[in-house]
Amino acid sequence: MNNAKIWLSSPHMGGNEQHYIKEAFDTNWVAPLGPNVTGFEQDLEHFLKEEVQIAALSSGTAAIHLGLVLLGVQAGDEVICQSFTFSASCNPILYLGATPVFIDSESETWNMCPVALEEAIVDRISKGKKPKAIIPVHLYGMPFKADEINAVAQKYQIPILEDSAEALGSTYKGRKCGTFGTIAALSFNGNKIITTSGGGALVGHSKETKDKAVFLATQARDAAPHYQHSEIGYNYRLSNICAGIGRGQMEILEKHINLRRQMHDFYVDFFKDIKEVTVFAEPNSDYFSNHWLSCIVIDTKALGKSSADLRIALEQENIECRPLWKPMHMQPIFEHYPYYGAKVSQQLFENGLCLPSGSNLTDNDKIRISSALKSFFNIF
């Protein structure tokens, strides 16, 4: 049997990507604007429905950064952010000289705990500063508790910047992730559910929001024959070449979501009789996850072996896996910022693992994964 590396989540082309790229070359639209950028934005708008307006950008991080700018976040402000996430959710808060306030997760969706969120808002207001925005995340494609989070945000009139970087195609009560926030961010990085090699998008709900995002993303040029600027601009627009990849990827998005969900089912089936392992799954039928990554949590005490032991065992078989995100409030660079909650995310980090989840894993890959898991769990 060949022993080629099995990746956690690798790019998976549909076939038509190069057609759109060739078109860009043939028409000389080799620039950060053009028909592919416009076409990709329309494909995304059509997919998300809900009358959204999309600005294609160079990364998901850029979308979060511009989202905060559009929400009026300035130096000295406070911004609430889910702690259990990738650092790109909160780095842009620091780019703006604002202060992150981190919130623990609840154990059902692993996302921002609405109770800890409200506790934080009340406490920050009592200390004299009302947070300017809330950044909840649909981690690993699992929708956050949108009704509860929205209710808290509404009650205190604080806008939501929804980090939907991992959740394209996920839904909550039938509504697509990426349409809940005042503004949302999508990512098309290399390991995401679809990729443009690198890219992202800002999702807004009005033409003004989109136009302002594009204005800021293209160096904030005022309407004048010369180069005139009355605002700080950024160079954050998506390349027309990369957008061509995105158009091809949109053609196979639904199919690839199904394949990711099949990988999740594969693990649910594998672990059904192993009581020390819990596969991360939707709490009920309100939630539909794209299962961007399939994750498990190990009862380390009961099993007598840890998630790190499993990771090392799989790596010896050339199978990539990864610890769950290390919470931001535990990171050396962020640990001195305010944190509200208990130890839900910390315990997930300490006992969890992401397993190979790509839409391009073959039957042979699954055989290798299951035989490596069988030998670790002593199943014969």
Q: Is 178 in the site for ligand PLP (CB under 6 A)?
A: no
* 162 sits near ligand PLP (criterion: CB under 6 A): no
Q: Report the DSSP beta bridge partners of residue 295.
A: 354
Report helix, strand or coil for 194. coil
Backbone angles phi, psi at 111, to 5 degrees: -105, -175
Measured CA to CA, the distance from residue 264 to residue 371 in angstroms comes to: 17
Q: Does 182 bind ligand PLP (CB under 6 A)?
A: no
The answer to whether 137 contacts ligand PLP (rule: CB under 6 A) is yes
Using CB under 6 A, pick the residue from 9, 61, 294, 345 that binds ligand PLP. 61
Provide the H-helix boundaries in the chain: 17-26, 35-48, 60-70, 91-95, 114-126, 146-155, 207-217, 240-250, 253-270, 300-303, 307-316, 344-351, 363-376
- Choose, by CB under 6 A, the member of 59, 179, 182, 249 that binds ligand PLP: 59
Binding flag, residue 89, ligand PLP (CB under 6 A): yes
Question: For the packed helices 363-376 and 307-316, what is the interaxial angle rounded to 10 degrees?
Answer: 130
Q: Does 167 bind ligand PLP (CB under 6 A)?
A: no
Position 90: which residue type?
C
- Among 142, 133, 131, smallest CA distance to 165 is for 142
In angstroms, give the least distance from the CB of 165 to ligand PLP. Answer: 4
Draw the binding track, 319-358, toward ligand PLP (x: CB under 6 A; -: no contact): ----------------------------------------
* Site membership for ligand PLP, residue 60 (CB under 6 A): yes
Which of 77, 104, 162, 166 binds ligand PLP (CB under 6 A)? It is 166
In angstroms, the CA 351 to CA 132 distance is: 33
State the nearest-atom distance from the C-beta of 196 to ligand PLP, in Å. Answer: 9
* C-beta closer to ligand PLP: residue 246 or 277: 246
Chain residues binding ligand PLP by CB under 6 A are 59-61, 85-86, 88-89, 137, 163, 165-166, 187, 189, 200
